[in-house]
Amino acid sequence: MNKFWGVIFDLFMIIVGCLITAAGLLIFLIPNKIAAGGASGLATIIYHIWGFPVGAVILLINVPLFIIGLFLWGWQMGWRTLFATLFLSVSLDVMAPYMEPVTNDPLLASLYGGIVSGLGMGLVFRARGTTGGTDLAARLFNHFSGISIGQGLILVDGLIVLAAGVVFSPELALYAAISIFALGKSIDLVQEGIGFAKAALIVTDQKREVQEQIIERLGRGVTGLRATGGYTGREKDVLICVISRTEISKLKKIVSMVDPRAFVIITAANEVLGEGFKEDWKNI
């Protein structure tokens, strides 16, 4: 039963993600001729040249890629990807008559289009699906040419942006590059979290005292590691502790009070899973 509800939750996430992605494309990117890579970018170019529906074009691009993928890798391609691809294509054409662009400023459109579409795609990725297009094309490039998937993604998106520069204008191609950047950051935000937590690395000669004070006064767990100084060759104790933003000043005060010579590094922890933070692993 848990597995069943897990699948239902994934489907819900994919549906919501596809709807958000479609909205970002329809009210920002497509009407402003911003082809932000991927199948949607190519479909945007075709739409403005010949007037073919964007959703139908995305489907026509993805279906042969998916069929080739099935022959090469079998059903490990994933039913989630197939479902997301179909649902996004249908959503775009069904929603198109009811969605009006909210801005004609290409800079605003590229930024907000990338952000909104990226948030939607991030939800789809979070549900272990993809919207096909560039991802499938990059995997095929990897299979037949040996180039990495990352390089394949850059190649495919670069060619689409270049085509937009030729068909529309070089300026709109530059806006498309901005949109791709914003889209990537939004996907990372959904995938990794906003980063409210902080990770602290504390190099100290007073391991036990610092550890006890953190546990007693902050109520946070501490993990100890042994390290060797690169210059002195001396063994040192390194404490790792994850805290919230509001606890940073308290932690620094504790460390400085116990060991003023301690070396402290505080960095962002985008996502923390476990006691005291995100504990419901079933919804991840």
Give the lowest-confidence range in 17-26, 120-129, 133-142, 156-165.
133-142
The CA–CA distances, whole Å, from 131 to 6, 182, 219 equal 20, 17, 43
Query: Above 90 in pLDDT, residue 82?
Result: no
The CA–CA distances, whole Å, from 56 to 31, 51, 79, 97, 196 equal 17, 11, 20, 14, 40
Query: Above 80 in pLDDT, residue 196?
Result: no
Query: Above 80 in pLDDT, residue 136?
Result: no
pLDDT at 283: 52
Q: Where does the chain show beta strands of DSSP type E?
A: 197-204, 223-228, 235-244, 263-269
| Non-local CB neighbours of 234 within 8 Å, separated by 6+ positions | 228
Instruction: Work out the average pLDDT over 123-142.
Output: 78
pLDDT at 187: 83
Q: Judge contact between 204 and 239, C-beta under 8 A.
A: yes
Query: Above 50 in pLDDT, residue 1?
Result: no
Q: pTM of the predicted model, to two decimals?
A: 0.79
Mean pLDDT taken over the chain: 86
Domain boundaries, the chain: 2-192, 197-283
Output 21 or 134, whichever has higher pLDDT: 21
pLDDT per position as a tens digit, 202-219: 998 889 999 999 998 888
Q: Which amino acid is at 72?
A: L
Instruction: Work out the average pLDDT over 158-179.
Output: 94
pLDDT per position as a tens digit, 30-40: 999 999 988 99
Residue 113, token pair as written in the block: 């289009």
Instruction: Work out the average pLDDT over 150-165.
Output: 84
Query: Above 80 in pLDDT, residue 44?
Result: yes
Residues of the chain with pLDDT > 90, as a percent, come to: 47
Instruction: Work out the average pLDDT over 136-146.
Output: 74
pLDDT at 24: 97
Query: Above 80 in pLDDT, residue 153?
Result: no
Instruction: Work out the average pLDDT over 87-115.
Output: 95
Q: Judge contact between 106 and 157, C-beta under 8 A.
A: no
- The architecture in CATH of the region 197-283 reads 2-Layer Sandwich (3.30)
pLDDT per position as a tens digit, 235-283: 888 999 998 887 888 899 999 999 998 999 998 876 676 666 665 544 5
Instruction: Work out the average pLDDT over 152-178.
Output: 91
